[in-house]
Structure 1
Amino acid sequence: MTDTADRPVASDAPRELARLASADNFRDVAGPGAGYPVAGGGRVARGVFYRSNELQLTAADAGTLADLGITRIHDLRGQMEIDAHPDVEVAGASWHHVEISGIPMELVSGLEDAESAVRVMREVYDAFVRTPGARAAYAELLTDLATAPVPQLFHCTAGKDRTGWAAALLLEIAGVDRATILTDYLLTNTVSTATRAKYLALIAEHLGEDKKAVYEPTMVVEESYLQTAYDAVTELYGSVDGYLRDGLGLSSDTLTRLRARLVG
């Protein structure tokens, strides 16, 4: 039995147009328009799950999230990231911390060239699949998304890596094809240009103009990063279904409930 009663009705209406000036990587997991098509018919339901970068929100943007009816915010960042930039409170939403390790600052601070930066990013995505801590955190997140009232939002700092893998898994569960999942993942590079430009300007100011090219791979998403996670899934579990069941330990009931919420 699925729990469709607390799932918003899929819609292309005003919530599709919601953009946050203070969180440029905020978007609906369902994608643009009426939502991504899924295998077997139907589309990913809009207004159920949202993704974002850190919630350093203006009062107007916090009000927008409250108006969307978001009931739960999952913060995937580490404690140091949270302490530096705590989330702005959103009326009506509870806050849930489920930490997933992101880009190791000790490795990033010593980067010498862009190739090293790409290697670090691939290691990050490999760790999402291989490390017990990351698997436990993703299992906790997906279980909560399946069982707590919706709509819900999850985010990390840039909303691209930890958040990107979570969104990819949701779209996999919904039955979206891999090419569409990749296109959705790469949207970060389009919608977050302002944030990226801001941080690259800071790098140029403090480290020198030549360092921008070195650090830029850590500020974007690339197909090879996501593919690294999929490669680890295939190596260790054979398939995404195997990873979800054996790697994350998600029950058939949890996956069924998630898909019921995801597919309109």
Structure 2
Amino acid sequence: MEHHMNETERPGSPLPFVGCENVRELGGYRTQDGRKVKHGVFFRGPALCDIRLPEDRALFASLGIRTVLDLRSESERRNAPDPVLEGVEYISRSALRDAQGRDVDFDIEAIFAGGEQTVSEMLREVDGGYAHMPFQNSAYVELFRILSEQKVPVYFHCSAGKDRTGIGAALILLALGVDRETVIQDYLVTNTCRPKSRHQVEQLLKRFFSPERAKELAAVTAGVQRQSMERALGTIAQKYPRFEDYLAAECGVNADTLQRIRTLYLE
């Protein structure tokens, strides 16, 4: 399989898409036992509707993706559907639901138009989402089923490839034995590879807020915060002192399956 990241490059570097930001792979990260995550297996990013340019479509096709897991809500998928890709199995599982089990939708423009109150509510909802996204979540059960059944290479995504996708990437890396700090650093890479998106969000925000506040909010809404991932990992650790117990209880990954996954995807 063709790889698009030189193995001497820093793991987690964005792939060279022209019109689509924040497409990355998990290959190259070292595990705590000295092995390395295989290249060309796990790809994370934004919605595929962002891959429009011919050169970007060709690059995506060259990855050999077998399965696409869409972590967005039903309305997000309906408003910006992924294209049909020949030979690719498409699976949709919303990764963010409210306390009543309903999909959480983010109409960004409507939220911004509501001023400080609605923006604050959105930020609280996203932050709170990190505390419960890892639990009773069929999207991440599905992600590990894809791994276990070797339906790879897999591309998993939400809208921006940062929050719901970030949790999915973290769970994979932790399951493979990558250390906690490396997992957090991979999550934070989003902040350096979405400059166009951040600018667009900032311009939108300027319609509703002062330039200073717009810039501040753009950094938060278009990027990610270390405290968010720490909150997710902290809640997992509080409930399950051993990550293996979390995987078994919440992701359907028992000890034998975990060993098999590590054998398949580490080198």
TM-score (norm 1): 0.83
Confirm or deny that 1:227 pairs with 2:230. yes
> Residues of 2 paired with 1:89 and 1:145: CA distance?
22
| More RCO (CA 8 Å, sep 6+) | 1
Is it true that 1:239 corresponds to 2:242 in the alignment? Answer: yes
**Partner in structure 2 of residue 201 of structure 1:** 203
User: Which position in structure 1 is the counterpart of 2:100?
Assistant: none
- Higher deviation after alignment, 169-178 or 202-211: 202-211
Question: Which ranges of structure 1 fall in alignment gaps of 5 or more residues?
Answer: 1-5
Cα RMSD of the aligned pairs, angstroms, is 2.9
Q: Which stretch has the larger CA shift, 50-59 or 200-209?
A: 200-209
1:14-163 equivalences in 2 (<5 Å): 18-30=15-27, 35-55=28-48, 56-58=50-52, 59-101=54-96, 104-105=105-106, 109=111, 110=114, 112=116, 118-130=123-135, 132=136, 135-163=137-165
Distance 1:240 1:17, change over 3 A: closer
Query: 104-113 vs 167-176, which deviates more?
Result: 104-113
Cα distance between partner residues in 2 of 1:138 and 1:194: 29
Deviation string, structure 1 residues 13-71 (Cα, Å, up to 9, x no partner): 99x884222321101112xxxx1111222211110110011112123212211111111
Kindly indicate whether the alpha-carbon contact (under 8 Å) linking 2:14 and 2:25 is maintained by their aligned counterparts in 1. no
What is the distance in 2 between the residues matched to 1:261 and 1:191?
A: 29
Q: Is the 8 A contact 1:126 1:228 kept in 2?
A: yes
Cα distance in 1 for residues equivalent to 2:169 and 2:75: 24
Q: Which residues of structure 2 form unaligned runs of 5+?
A: 98-103
Q: Which amino acid aligns with 2:169?
A: A
Q: Is the 8 A contact 2:72 2:93 kept in 1?
A: yes
Distance 2:263 2:20 in 1: 28
201-210 or 181-190, larger mean C-alpha shift? 201-210
Percent of aligned pairs with the same amino acid: 29
- Give 3-state SS (helix, strand or coil) of 1:187's partner: helix
Q: Is the 8 A contact 1:111 1:117 kept in 2?
A: no
Letter in 2 for 1:52: G
